[in-house]
Structures are given as structure tokens and as C-alpha cells.
Structure 1
Amino acid sequence: MALNHVVAAAINLAAALLSIPVIAAGIWLSTQTDNACVNLLQWPLIGLGIAILAVGLAGFVGALWRLPRLLLAYLVAMLILALSLASLVVFVFLVTTGSSGRPVPSRAFLEYDLDDYSGWLRQRLDSASRWDGIKTCLASTPICPSLNQTYATAEGFFAARWLSPVESGCCKPPTRCGYTFVNPTFWISPIDGAVDPDCAAWSNDQAQLCYSCSSCKAGVLQNLRREWRRADLILLVAALGLLAVYAVGCYTFRQAKTDNLFRRYRQGYT
């Protein structure tokens, strides 16, 4: 019996340790500029990770000090958390389906279209007041100003294969607008009036640029998609590990109860 309780305690401690990659994924997302500005996934992840840690430690205490009620509460709570994590993995995968960018003539970088992304993600940015906060946050970062230090010529900028989605969508006008390059964040408007809303939204004001453009929203969503997919791989491994540990924990708990009943049965006949 003592060995069973030690094994159960070790299993519950392993469940608590599986919270670390969940919390780490949330913290990593919070360090990414676009995620910090949009502020959607990182705090739910950190909160879920802390809950898994707390429940796992409660199960560890319950197993080590032989508290059946606490262990039963642990099993119920951990099942809910494990299923919540697994559901979140599936949800993130589904809402991040969409574009990986579109090539444009004479450019090495890609450009992005807002309609290519899931409706749920687009709705998170549709509110004017919410987007105002996001674009103000983006404008306060060095994302766009740093391009002027990196690319001095049109040839170098147009050959920038690794331009990020936010840089492509927010820091310059869309290629279809026909603007003439001066530097990465300053462009000369064509003679013809801009019909495309994104072309009309472009401004050489360094605080505005294309932050009001749909292409900027698409660039933000593409960055979120890329970073959420990376985090989702970590969450998938954590979810599978948590479900496996939970299954072993249930078996150990059941075996301990069976051994306890058998011991009482034997004591009744001795």
C-alpha cells in the first residue's frame, strides 16, 4: 500500500510538471510583439497551465498523505483540465487554417489577404475600438522603423525574402497600389487616384503608415497563425502526456482501492 501511494504521488507530480510547457508556451507568446498587442491566447494558456500545476500538486499531496477525497477531486478536476487542453489544441488548429501568403510580381516577399483567414480570427480584429488599440500598440514598436536601417535601396527591399507578415502588411503600401519606393516606410503616391481602400489608407506619416489597412490586419493574423501553430505543437505534446498520465493515475487509484478492499476482506477472515 505504501508503494502504491508513492507511485500515485509520483504520477500526480508528473501531471503537475506537464503544466510547465503550457505555461512556457503562454509566456513565449506574450513575448511576441503581435501577440502582445492582440492579447488573445497567451493569458488563457498561462491560466490553464497554472490550474494544471495547482491540481497536480493537490493530487500529489492527496496521494502522499493518503487523502481519498482530495484524490477523487484531483481525478475529476484533472480530467476537466486535460479535456480542456485537448479541446484548445483542436480549436487553435482549426482557427489557424488559412493563407500562407501570396507572391507578387517582382517581389521576393509575400503579401496577405484578410479574407484568407478564419472568420473567428477576423472577428477578433473587426471591432474598430479593438483595432485602434492594436495598431497603436504596433506603431509604438520598432517593427517598421527598423526596416529603414536594414534596407537602403528599392532593389534590396524588393529582394527581402524574409520580410515578416506584419512588416509586409503594415509598414508599406500593397504592391498593387503602384506606389514608388523612397524608403521602406516612405512612398510616392501614383498620379491616378487610389480606388482600393488599402491604397487610400496608406500614409507617409510614420505613426500611421498602413496600420489602418486590411493588409495590416492580414499580416497580424498571419503572424498569429505562425506563432499559434508553433505553440499548438507544444500544447499537443503536453495534452497527450497529460491524458496518458491521467490514465495511469486512474489505474493506480483503482488498483489501490482494489488492494484496500482485498486487505479488508482478508482481515475479516483472520
Structure 2
Amino acid sequence: MGSSTSTFVIRWINFFTMILAILVVGFGFWMSTHNDECRRSLTIPVMALGGVIFLMSLAGFMGAWKNISCLLWTYLIMLFVLLVAIMVFTVLAFIITNTGTGHAVPGARYKEYRLQDYSSWFVKQLNDTEKWNHLRSCIVKSDDCSSLSKRYKTLKQYKLADLTPVESGCCRPPTEYIPCTFHCILSMQVLLVRV
């Protein structure tokens, strides 16, 4: 592959990445216009990610277009730092959530998730009243819990359902602690999240 071919490829990849980054920043602005506190809390990280990707792509595009090696080196260093940051975030997320794989519930298809299974740092973060109140309000607004009673009309349907971790861990009382009927489980879903 010749030098002109590689710069052509770098130029067009970075051009499309710049367009994508502009869309991400626009999405961040759109999120900031909503009254929903959950979406607004993600505004700055989304816009920052879009801005970093835009600057990185601009350096790569201009370096390949004008054949400026300084910009190409800046592009490569920024790309390396971004990839390392993504890997570190992925590893940390895996370490924090690795032990919370869920426990089988007798007679049910879904798994039960318990807070004590996660890392102590994660549990400490959720035990912070301010953070939990924010997270709880997001869960209540997400319709994950309120839609369960509409989707599953009988106890058999509910037990055979393939519930997501949020639905299983946040929307219903733990199976072993509250032996109640199907209607009791459905009525306690919203109460459990509001506690």
C-alpha cells in the first residue's frame, strides 16, 4: 500500500468520523434540552466524548490531507490514549460487576441479583443516599418496572419470563425473603424501587 493510498484512507475515515462526532455532540445538546434528570446527567460525558473524537479526527484528517507529520503523530497519540482509556474502562467495569452474575431461582427462568455479590466499591457507591436517589428515580422513570405487570398476566408467565438484570434485581422483591403471590410481587415492584 503506497503512501498516497494510506493518506487517502486516513483522510476519508477521519472525515466520516468527524461527521459522526458532530452527531454525537448534537445528541448531547439534544439530551441537555430534556427535563429528565437521567438524560441530562449524561450530557457532559456524551458531549466530551464527541468533542474528543472530533478533535482527534480533525488532526488525522488535516495531517493526511496536508501531509503534516506533526498532526499525524498527534492523531496517533490521541487514538492510542483513547483506546487505552476504553480498555481500562472495560477492565474496571468487568472487575466491578464480575461477581454479580445472578443466582438461579427455583421454578423460575430469570436469575436473581443481589447487591452483596458486587464489589465493595460498587456497593459503597450505591449506599450513598444521593447517588441511590438519583439512580432510583431513573429506574422508576424507565418503565422497566411498570411494564412487567402489563407483559405478564399470570404467575406462570412471570416465572417463565426471561427478565433482564434490572427487572429481576430492581423491580421485584427477593424471592427468598418475601414469599408472596403473583399479585403481591407485581404490587411490590414499584414500592421496592421507591424505598
Same fold (TM over 0.5): yes
| Contact 1:106 1:158 survives alignment (8 Å) | yes
Corresponding position of 2:175? 175
- Partner-residue secondary structure (3-state), 2:168: helix
Residues 9 and 60 in structure 1, CA contact (< 8 A), matched pair in contact too: no
Give TM-score, length-normalised by structure 1: 0.53
Distance 1:174 1:68, change over 3 A: closer
Unaligned 5+ runs, structure 2: 28-36
Q: C-alpha distance in 2, partners of 1:74/1:178? A: 56
Give me the CA root mean square deviation.
3.7
CA contact (8 A) 2:114 2:169 kept: no
Compared with structure 1, are the counterparts of its residues 143 and 59 closer, same or farther at alpha carbon in structure 2 (3 Å cutoff)?
A: closer
Q: Which residue of 2 aligns with 1:8?
A: 7
Q: Deviation of residue 128 (structure 1)? A: 0.6
Secondary structure in structure 2 of the residue aligned to 1:107: coil
Counterpart of 2:33?
none
1:98-113 alignment runs, 5 A limit? 98-113=99-114
Give the structure 2 partner of residue 75 of structure 1. 76
State the secondary structure of the residue aligned to 1:177: coil
Specify whether residues 13 and 51 from structure 1 end up closer, same or farther in structure 2 by C-alpha distance, changes over 3 A only.
farther
Deviation at 1:45, TM superposition (A): 6.6
Alignment of structure 1 residues 1-270 onto 2, 5 Å: 4=3, 7-11=6-10, 13-14=12-13, 37=38, 44=45, 47-48=48-49, 50-160=51-161, 162-183=162-183, 184-186=185-187, 204=188, 208-211=190-193
Output the CA distance in 2 between the equivalents of 1:16 and 1:49: 14
Counterpart of 1:11 in structure 2: which amino acid? Answer: I
Structure-2-length-normalised TM-score:
0.69
Give the superposition deviation at 1:140.
2.5
Structure 1 residue 64: deviation in Å? 1.4
Residue-by-residue CA offset, 1:69-113 (whole Å, 9 max, x unaligned): 333433333332333233333333333312321112333322111
Separation in 1, partners of 2:149, 2:15:
47
1:137-162 deviation per Cα after TM superposition (whole angstroms, max 9, x unaligned) = 222332222222222222332332x0
- Give SS of 2:153's match: coil
Contact 2:173 2:192 in 1 (8 A): yes
Change (3 A) 1:42 1:94: farther
CA deviations 1:220-247 (Å, max 9, x no partner) are xxxxxxxxxxxxxxxxxxxxxxxxxxxx
Percent of pairs with identical residues:
29
- RCO higher in structure (CA 8 A, sep ≥6): 1
Aligned residue for 2:32? Answer: none
Task: Please state whether the residue corresponding to 1:131 is helix, strand or coil.
Answer: helix
Q: Aligned AA for 2:179?
A: Y
CA pair 82-105 structure 1, distance change in 2 beyond 3 A? closer
Helix, strand or coil for the counterpart of 1:122? helix
Unaligned runs of 5+ in 1: 28-35, 187-203, 214-270
Structure 1 runs of 4+ off > 4 angstroms?
A: 15-21, 36-46
